């Protein structure tokens, strides 16, 4: 009986750890994607401004 409770507790801890890991990974993915989009947008804006200055 005791090993069954221990096994269930271990499974519950593994499930909680897996959920936390999945949420953390999803959040990091979203943050990295947002950061990359912001950097690329700024670089594109700077490139367009530089090109515009050279044309005039």
Q: What is the pLDDT of residue 1?
A: 61
Encode pLDDT of 1-56 as tens digits: 678 999 999 999 999 999 999 999 999 999 999 999 999 999 999 999 889 888 87
Per-residue model confidence (pLDDT) at position 54: 81
pLDDT for position 56: 73
Spell out the SS3 assignment of 1-56: CHHHHHHHHHHHHHHHHHHHHHHHHHHHHHHHHHHHHHHHHHHHHHHHHHHHHHHC
**CA-based torsion, 13, 14, 18, 21: positive or negative:** positive
């Amino acid at each position: 009986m005791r090993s069954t409770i221990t096994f269930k507790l271990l499974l519950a801890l593994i499930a909680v750890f897996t959920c936390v890991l999945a949420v953390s990974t999803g959040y990091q993915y979203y943050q990295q994607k947002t950061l990359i989009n912001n950097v690329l947008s700024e670089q594109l804006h700077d490139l367009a401004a530089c090109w515009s200055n050279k044309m005039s």
